[in-house]
Amino acid sequence: MKMLVVFEKKERLRHVSHLDLMRAMQRALRRSGVPIAFSQGFNPHLLVTFAAPLSVGMPGLREVMEVPLSAEISEEEFKEKLRAALPPELPCVAVRAVEDRHPAPMAQLFAAGYQITVQEHVEEILAAIPSLLAKENVMALKKTKSGEKLTDIRPMIYEIKRLDESRFECVLALCEAATCKVELLMDALAAEAGLEARPRYLAVRTQLLGKDFIPLELL
Amino acid sequence: MKVFSADRLERLLDTVLKPSRYTGGEMNAVIKPFDQADVTFAFCFPDSYEVGMSHLGIKILYDIINRQPWALCERAFMPWPDMADAMRKEDLPLFSIESRTPLDRFDIVGFTLQYEMSYTNVLEMLDLAGIPLYSRDRQNGPIIMAGGPCAYNPEPLAPFVDVFQIGDGEEMMVEAIACVRKCKQEGLSRLDTLRALAKIEGIYVPAFYQASYNNDGTLAAFAPIDDAAPAVVRKRIVRDLDSAAYPEAFVVPYTEAIHDRIVLEIMRGCTKGCRFCQAGMLYRPVRERSLETLLSQAEKLENATGYEEMSLSSLSSGDYTHLTELVCALTERYAERKISVSLPSMRIDSFVKQSLEEAQKVRKSGLTLAPEAGTQRMRDVINKGVTEEDLIRAVTDAFESGWSTVKLYFMIGLPTETDEDLQGIGNLARDVINAYFTVPRSQRAKGLRVTCSASTFVPKPFTPFQWQGQDELPQIREKQARLGDILHQVKGVNFNWHEPELSMLEACFARGDRRMADVLYAAWKNGCRMDGWTEFLNYEGWMKAFQDCHVDPAFYANRVRGEKELLPWDFIDAGVTKAFLWREWQKALRAEVTPDCRKGCQGCGLKRFEGVCVDR
Ligand code: SF4
C-alpha cells in the first residue's frame, strides 16, 4: 500500500531547498509513527518520492509525494498522525491510499499551475499577456545540459489568465519531455513588453497536473 | 534609525547565500504572542545558524525560558557576512528567527560565549541590531546578558555586557528573568534592575566593579564599587542533574546543522583532572543522569524530532556508571527504527569494548582518540592518565571490531615540551598503524586511515596552567614544521594543524583583562568578525588593533605569571581554589600525576559548596 500525500510549502519556507525539504519530510514521517517502509541495505532510508522538486524561492500550495507503507493504515489515521508531526508552515492538505502498483506520481506528471505576483513593471507585463498568447512561436533561451538552446516555448504554455491588477495564473508544461520554467515565461513576457530585464516577481506553484489537466493526486 | 520591514527582508533573502538560515518555521520552534509575554528574551548565538543550532546549551535554555508561561524566548544567530553587509546597507535591523522582531525590542538580549573567537560577533550582532555597544551608552533598551564557559573570564567583554551569568544556567536563568519581570512590574530604573540582578548568586554586573593596575601592567586591585555587588561571585551549580529540566523536543533545522541529532547529556563534570582542560575544572563536580531519565528523554526526543541519530554527550562518557546498560538499551530499542547511537568524546582510558561493539551494530563512524601528548612524561605533566599500552589496546580492540578510521588529537606547545615529545607523537602514530597490521587481514576492515591533528596549547583561566605562557608564534610554527617532518616519515598518516595566529588571539582573550575590550572594539572597527572561520580571519586587522590600543599581545599570551599576581578572574569562585590549582601547577612541573578524585578527594575546593561533592 502507498499513500499519496498532498502538502503545502508555505511562503516562509520558500527558501528551503528540495534536499532539505526531503529530509524534513522524512523526519516528519518518522516522528508521526505511521508504518513507513525502509530501503534495504547498509544505510537504510525512507522510501519517499516527490512528484517534482520545487525551485528554491518558490512556495507550493499542493505538492505531491508518495509514501510506501509497511502496513495498512486508514487515510484518516495517516492524515491525523502526519498532521501532528508537521510544522505549521508545512501542513498536510490531503492524502489518498493507493495500491502498490499505482503508477508513481512522477511518471504521471504533465504540467503545473502557477500564480504569479508581478512586483515591478506590473502594467507592462500584464498588458503583454494577450499579445504573447496570440503568437505562434515564442523563442526563448533554454538552459540544457550542453549549454543554452533557443527553443520555442509556445507549445509549453497551456494557459495564462490575468487575475487582478498585479497577478496572473498560468499552466506550463512540466514533464520529462518538455518543461517550461516560470523564468522563461517571465523572460518572454518581459521581451514582449519591451523591457530589458526580467522584472521582480513571486511565483507560487498552485497545482501539479497529470493528463487532461487532472490534479495529480486524483489520477 | 533601523526599521524592520518584512518586504525588504524578503527581497534580501533572494540575494544571499543559504537564505533558510534566517527564515525559521522549523518543527518545534516555540511560537508565542510577543506582546503578551511579561519578559522577552532574545537568545543569541554569536556564530552562524548551523553552528548555533548544534549547540546543546541553547536548546536547554530556550526550553527553560519558554516553559515559563509569562516569558518568551526566541533565537538569533550571527548572519553570514554577505547577509550582514546586505542588512547594514538596507538599514534592516537584526531580528529574531521566530517572530522576526528586531532585537532592540526585547527586554533581554543574551549571548552564549562558547569560544573567545566569537567575541567580535557579539559586537557585530549588537551593532546590526542598532543597539549601542557600550553599556554606558545604553540608558534604555534591552539588558545585555552573557553566559557560557567563556563568561568565567568576563573581563574582555566587561564594558559591553550588562550582566554575566557564571555557572550552570538551569536555575540561575529562571531567577534572572523572574527578577527582570519583577523589576519591570515595579517600574524600577535600569540601574536598580541591575542592582537587583547582582544579588542573585552567580551573577556579575561589571559596571559595579573597578580595576586598577600596577606600573608593570599587572592588576593591582579589583573590587566592587556598589553595595549591591558581592566581592566574590560564586558560580552556580545544579546539584541534582537528574531532576534538572531537559527539553522534550529540539528545534529541527531544515538546513543541516553541524551536529544535527538528538543529544543526551548523560553527565556533567569530569574528575580526571587533565591540567590543560578548562571544561574539566569548570564543570565540577561530576553529576550523572539516571538510566531511567535518559531512556525516557531519548524516547520523548525521538518522537518529537524524528532524528536518525542519537549521541551521548559529556566530558568523559566512558566514565558514566551505566554506560554499557545505556548503550545496550538504546541500540536495542532503536535498531528497528534505524537510529544510530554514537559516543563522542570517548577517552581512551575509559574505553569499553562492549559498548564499542554495541555502538557499531548500527553504524560505524570514525574513532576519535585524544592522547594529547606523545610521551609518557608529557602526559604525566598534563595529567592525562593514559599509557601507550591503553591507547594501543583501545585501537587494537577497535580494529578488531571493524573500525579502520582513527583520528588522534595532540597539542603542541605544552609546558616543558621538548623535541623528544614531538618525536613521541610520531612514534605513537607508527604504533597505531602497526596495531592495525597485527590484526589478521580477515578480521580487520579495509582502508586504514589515520589522521593526526595538532592544536596549539592555549592556557586557560581556572586551570593549573593558567600561569603558563603560550609559545610565541615563531616557536609554534617551528614545532609545527618539525612535527610535519616527523609524521611525513610515518607512512599512511595525515597531518593537520590549526592556525597559530588564531590560537594566539584566543590566548589573549582567554586570560585578558578589561583593557582587551579596547582591542576587541578596535578590531571590530577594522572589520574583524567571524574570526573562527579561516576564510574570514583578518589577522592584519587584529594586529593593527593591538598597535592602535598600545597593547602588547605578548603581555597576555606569552607572559608567565607569578604565584602572587592578582589574576583578572580571581574574583570569581569557580569551585576549584587557586591554592589547588597552584599545587597542581607545581606537580605538573615535576611531572607528577594526580589520580582521578573518584578514587579519593584531592581537595580541589568543591567540597566548600554544600552537598555537591559526595564521597562515593
Ligand atoms: S572536592 Fe574532591 S571529590 Fe570533589 S571534585 Fe574536588 S577533588 Fe574531586
Residues 6+ away with beta carbon under 8 Å from B441: none
Residue ID of nearest Cα to ligand 1 atom 7: B602
**Residue B411, in any domain of the structure:** no
Residue B416 has pLDDT above 80, yes or no: yes
Q: Is B302 within 8 Å of chain A by CB?
A: yes
| DSSP-derived 3-state class of residue B57 | helix
Element (H, E) at B58: helix B56-67
Contact B302 A31 (CB under 8 A): yes
Chain A residue with minimum CA distance to B307: A27
Residue B344 has pLDDT above 90, yes or no: no
Distance between Cα B386 and ligand 1 center (Å): 20
**Residue B312, in any domain of the structure:** no
Among A133, A132, A149, which Cα is nearest to A141's?
A: A149
Report ipTM (2 d.p.). Answer: 0.91
Residue A115 CB neighbours (<10 A)? 18
Residue B362 has pLDDT above 50, yes or no: no
Q: Which domains does chain A have, with CATH numbers?
A: 2-107 (3.30.70.580), 109-218 (3.30.70)
Residue B23 has pLDDT above 90, yes or no: yes
Residues B334 and B331: their CA atoms lie apart, in Å, by 5
Q: Which chain B residues touch A31 with a CB distance below 8 Å?
A: 302-306
Residue A55 CB neighbours (<10 A)? 15
Residue B112 has pLDDT above 60, yes or no: yes
Question: What letters, b where the CB count within 10 A reaches 16 and e where it falls short, cover B470-503?
Answer: bbbbeebeebbeebeebbeebeebebebbebbbb
Contact A89 B254 (CB under 8 A): no
Ligand 1 site residues, Cβ closer than 6 angstroms: B 271, 284-285, 597, 601-604, 606-607, 613
In eight-state DSSP terms, residue B531 is T
Cβ neighbourhood burial of B413 (10 Å; 0-12, 13-18, 19+): buried
Claim: this prediction has a pTM higher than 0.80: yes
Among A119, A178, A128, which Cα is nearest to A152's?
A: A178
Size of interface A-B (CB pairs under 8 A): 67
What is the average per-residue pLDDT within B134-142?
Answer: 96
What is the average per-residue pLDDT within B421-439?
Answer: 95
Residues A193 and A185: their CA atoms lie apart, in Å, by 12
Residues 6+ away with beta carbon under 8 Å from A188: A132, A138, A140, A153
Q: Which chain A residues touch B308 with a CB distance below 8 Å?
A: 27, 30
Which ligand 1 atom is at minimum distance from the Cα of B576?
A: 6
CA distance to A47, A151, B290, per residue, from B266 (Å): 33, 61, 8
Residue A162 has pLDDT above 60, yes or no: yes
**Residue B103, in any domain of the structure:** yes
Residues A172 and A181: their CA atoms lie apart, in Å, by 8
Which ligand 1 atom is at minimum distance from the Cα of B286?
A: 5
Question: pLDDT, tens digit, for every residue of B266-308?
Answer: 999 998 999 999 999 999 999 999 999 999 999 999 999 999 9
Kindly report which listed range (A11-15, B53-57, B189-193, B351-355) carries the lowest average pLDDT score: B351-355
What is the average per-residue pLDDT within B461-488?
Answer: 96
Share of chain B above pLDDT 70, in %: 96
Residues 6+ away with beta carbon under 8 Å from B125: B44, B46, B76, B78, B94, B103, B111
Angle between the N-to-C axes of helices B539-548 and B500-510, in degrees from 0 to 180, rounded to the nearest 10: 40
**Residue B452, in any domain of the structure:** no
Chain B residue with minimum CA distance to A119: B11
H runs (alpha helix) in B68-200: 81-90, 119-128, 169-185, 190-198
Distance between Cα B464 and ligand 1 center (Å): 15
- Strand-pairing partners, residue A167, are A117
Share of chain B above pLDDT 90, in %: 81
Question: In A, residues 30-59, which contact B (CB 8 Å cutoff)?
Answer: 30-33, 38, 43-45, 57
CA distance to A41, B47, B348, B425, B436, per residue, from B443 (Å): 21, 44, 22, 27, 10
What is the average per-residue pLDDT within B119-124?
Answer: 98
The shortest C-alpha distance from B362 to chain A (Å) reads 9
Kindly report which listed range (A44-48, B262-266, B533-537) carries the lowest average pLDDT score: A44-48
pLDDT at B348: 41
Residue A130 CB neighbours (<10 A)? 11
| DSSP-derived 3-state class of residue B213 | strand
**Residue B469, in any domain of the structure:** no
Residue B418's pLDDT band, with cuts at 50, 70 and 90, is: very high
What is the average per-residue pLDDT within B521-535?
Answer: 96
Residue ID of nearest Cα to ligand 1 atom 3: B601
**Which of B235, B581, B607 for a ligand 1 pocket mutation test, highest count of atoms within 8 Å of Cβ?**
B607
Residue B354 has pLDDT above 80, yes or no: no
Q: Is A18 within 8 Å of chain B by CB?
A: no
The shortest C-alpha distance from B100 to chain A (Å) reads 11
Q: What is the dihedral of CA B294, B296, B299, B303, to 10 degrees?
A: -120
Residue B613's pLDDT band, with cuts at 50, 70 and 90, is: confident
Residues B420 and B456: their CA atoms lie apart, in Å, by 17
Question: pLDDT, tens digit, for every residue of A49-92?
Answer: 999 999 999 999 999 999 999 999 999 999 999 999 999 999 99
Cβ-nearest to B25 among A28, A44, A89:
A89
pLDDT at B511: 98
Residue of A7, A13, A15 to mutate for B, most B C-beta atoms under 10 A: A15
Residue B599 has pLDDT above 90, yes or no: no
Contact B19 A15 (CB under 8 A): yes
What is the extent of the structural domain holding B104? 6-234
Residues B487 and B450: their CA atoms lie apart, in Å, by 11
What is the average per-residue pLDDT within A184-203?
Answer: 94
**Residue B23, in any domain of the structure:** yes
Distance between Cα B599 and ligand 1 center (Å): 10
C-alpha cell at B484: 610535519
- DSSP for B282-312, written as a single string: HT-S-EE--HHHHHHHHHHHHHHH--SEEEE
CA distance to B52, B120, B512, per residue, from B553 (Å): 29, 17, 10
Which ligand 1 atom is at minimum distance from the Cα of B285?
A: 5
* Tally of structural domains, chain B: 1
pLDDT at B361: 46
Residue B6 has pLDDT above 70, yes or no: yes
Residue B358 has pLDDT above 60, yes or no: no
Cβ neighbourhood burial of B201 (10 Å; 0-12, 13-18, 19+): middle
Kindly report which listed range (A9-18, B353-362, B497-506) carries the lowest average pLDDT score: B353-362
Residues B142 and B74: their CA atoms lie apart, in Å, by 14
Q: φ, ψ for residue B260 (rounded to 5)?
A: -115, 85
Residue of B13, B49, B308 to mutate for A, most A C-beta atoms under 10 A: B308
**Residue B401, in any domain of the structure:** no
CATH code (residue B152):
3.40.50.2300
pLDDT at B364: 56
Residue B498 has pLDDT above 90, yes or no: no
Chain A residue with minimum CA distance to B29: A87
Residue A151 has pLDDT above 70, yes or no: yes
C-alpha cell at A64: 505531491
Residues A174 and A168: their CA atoms lie apart, in Å, by 18
Residues A39 and B224: their CA atoms lie apart, in Å, by 65
Residue B365's pLDDT band, with cuts at 50, 70 and 90, is: low
- Strand-pairing partners, residue B341, are B310
Kindly report which listed range (B59-73, B200-214, B395-409) carries the lowest average pLDDT score: B395-409
Chain B residue with minimum CA distance to A200: B11
Residues B482 and B476: their CA atoms lie apart, in Å, by 10
Residues B565 and A218: their CA atoms lie apart, in Å, by 79
Average pLDDT, chain B: 93
Pairing of strands B203-204, B163-165: antiparallel
**Residue B289, in any domain of the structure:** no
Residue B244's pLDDT band, with cuts at 50, 70 and 90, is: very high
pLDDT at B356: 54
What is the average per-residue pLDDT within A14-43?
Answer: 90
Query: Please, what is the Cα angle at B177 between B171 and B179, to 5 degrees?
Result: 100
Q: Is B303 within 8 Å of chain A by CB?
A: yes
- DSSP for chain A, written as a single string: -EEEEEEEE-GGGTTS-HHHHHHHHHHHHHHHT--BPBPPSSS--B--EESSPPPTT--EEEEEEEEEBSS---HHHHHHHHHHHS-TTS-EEEEEEE-TTSPPHHHH--EEEEEEEE-SSHHHHHHHHHHHHH-S--EEEEEETTEEEEEE-GGGEEEEEE-SSSEEEEEEEBSSS-B--HHHHHHHHHHHTT-SSPPPEEEEEEEEE-GGG-BGGG-
Q: Is A92 within 8 Å of chain B by CB?
A: no
C-alpha cell at B135: 553599556
